[in-house]
Amino acid sequence: MKHSTIQLGDLPDEILMMIFKNMCQVDVLYSLIDVNQRLTTIVHDPIFTNHVTLLKHLSDGSICSLTDSMLDQFCSQILPKMNHKIKCLHLESSSMERILLAANYPSLDGLSLYENALTDLFKNKILSLTFNMNVNKKDNDREHVNGIIFQRIIKIFTNLQYLNLCPSSIWYSRISLKAFTANLASTTLSELHVTVNNFDDCLCLLDGRFNQLHTLYVYVADIQSSRQTINNMENLPNLKYFSLYSNVVTRAYDELIVPLLNRMFNLEELSLYVKICDINRFVDGSDLKKSILNNMSRLKKLQFYIRSTTGVLNRINIPSNEDIQYTFKDFHNNHIISYVDYFTDTQRGQCHIYSYPYTLNEYCKITNSFPGGLYKCVTKISLYDERPFEYNFFLRIAESFPHLKKLIIENMKPQNGKPKSDGNQNLPIIEYPHLITLDLTEAHLDYIELFLFDTKMRLSNNISVVAIYQALRRVTEKFTRNATSTLGKKLHRLNLVGKYRIPKYVKEYFPHTKICSCEFV
């Protein structure tokens, strides 16, 4: 052995395992993965992948995060290849979010968070915290990861009074509390802004674990019945300000929402934004007073939007718009707008009621009965009716929503008063200067033609359109119609539904447009 040279690769796997176990785990993973198949297999052993420590211990006993280059390598190359094996992560606080968003961790059930000297110095002094999370649409376990982050924030900042989680991205900041209820509590938190996965999570926040909470703004992604048992359903005398928002239609208004609000008898401000279906009635002013508001004697401010839909087949006494509006005669401190529609094709009725000015950023299922007004906050709307949308309706929509960015049209009825190409010179111009997304997948050909070809319709210079391929083919006369020179320059993106491959003549017809295809909406 005096003159022999032993390479690392000459050692048996057992010896290599012993050597690697005595090395820094970060260095092992960073240096040896993808060197060759044998070393990669060894370092993918559960000894190295079940519990992963991604931080550095310094000689003085303190800790620090990995260098940027190491973080880049772990987040882009290493973690996505071993994510399914990781059961516990040991992280430094400043790199926590980046690492958690680098991959989906289906087996993760533990997280240890280490604070650096700066975090440790200020953690008892932080009273207010706004925490923004990066959006990662590919992360299928986002709610679980967000729950981990939420739990750690509550545990670390022991004197926290105000917490706002991800105000810039409601949908991707959803939190699931199912796995973290045992160790989640605070005796100092008084105001919380949060998005939760379902109504059970909302009830969990109000079961006594945050006993000083007086203000709660909660977005609930799904309000449905559940078999989960919530232990504490007592009254909430400390709660003064409550906002409940959900964008998903629910049938559990009477079962879940009303009982929760009845626990809040000391509320001074209430904001309620919900969409209800199939409760055999429209929610109106009388219903609000009887079910909710009569129990809130201290209420000073009320904001709400409620859209309720129900079947009307064989019903004799169905309320008119005047009937609904009359139920708000005692709402002296509020300007209330309401309107009712009945759809004969589907045998359903729809009722919008809301306080005005309107404060939400979206407004769905607008019909011909829409009374108008000014909605400066709204950037996304959908239009729906079984009656045709005429030219003046779109003009009223443009005037009411000056900052509109996304428009969805759901109407398969042809226009009655469709202007002829040589007879529309006296019509006012319809302008949507900020519109960037136009969804025409459920629109009659007349509306496709109006928005894409009518010279009296002015759109933004950077618009994306979603349309059915066959419908667009008919409107463009098999992609030969000449009236699209201006449209072609404005159309930034075109998503064609129902066409797997884009024909060459379509690309030639829209030479400046990025064209994508999908088989279904």
143 within 8 A of 172, measured Cβ to Cβ: no
Residue 483 to residues 25, 45, 454, 488: CA-CA distances in angstroms?
65, 64, 9, 9
Point out the domain boundary residue: 331, 357, 383: 357
- Residues 6 or more apart whose CB falls under 8 angstroms from that of 501 comprise 517
Two tokens, residue 164: 């706002």
Two tokens, residue 251: 């049938």
- CA 111, CA 146: separation in Å to the nearest integer? 12
Say whether both 392 and 505 belong to one domain: yes
Point out the domain boundary residue: 233, 251, 274: 233
Is the residue at 21 inside a domain?
A: no
**Is 29 strand, coil or helix?**
helix
Is the residue at 314 inside a domain?
A: yes
Is the residue at 193 inside a domain?
A: yes
Is the residue at 251 inside a domain?
A: yes
Say whether both 262 and 387 belong to one domain: no
Say whether both 133 and 146 belong to one domain: yes
pLDDT tens for each residue of 361-389: 999 999 999 999 999 999 999 999 999 99
Say whether both 131 and 264 belong to one domain: no
Domain count for the chain, please give it. Answer: 3
pLDDT at 172: 62
pLDDT at 312: 84
pLDDT at 51: 87
Query: What residues pair up with 362 in beta bridges, in sequence order?
Result: 380
Is the residue at 272 inside a domain?
A: yes
Say whether both 229 and 248 belong to one domain: no
pLDDT tens for each residue of 42-73: 888 888 888 888 888 776 666 778 888 889 98
Say whether both 339 and 414 belong to one domain: no
- Residues of the chain with pLDDT below 50 are 1-4, 135-138, 485
pLDDT at 486: 54
Phi and psi at residue 376, to the nearest 5°? -70, -25
Say whether both 167 and 218 belong to one domain: yes
pLDDT at 520: 57
Phi and psi at residue 492, to the nearest 5°? -80, -40
Say whether both 507 and 379 belong to one domain: yes
List the end-to-end C-alpha distance of the chain, in Å, as a whole number.
70
Say whether both 257 and 209 belong to one domain: no
pLDDT tens for each residue of 11-27: 888 888 888 888 888 88
Say whether both 404 and 508 belong to one domain: yes
pLDDT at 59: 67
Is the residue at 168 inside a domain?
A: yes
pLDDT at 420: 61
Is the residue at 115 inside a domain?
A: no
* Residue 377 lies in domain: 361-418+427-520
Q: Kind and range of the H or E element at 258?
A: helix 258-262
Say whether both 314 and 394 belong to one domain: no
Is the residue at 201 inside a domain?
A: yes
Point out the domain boundary residue: 334, 357, 380: 357
Say whether both 465 and 515 belong to one domain: yes
Torsion of CA 90, 94, 97, 103, to 10 degrees: -50
Residue 221 to residues 107, 335, 516: CA-CA distances in angstroms?
24, 28, 30
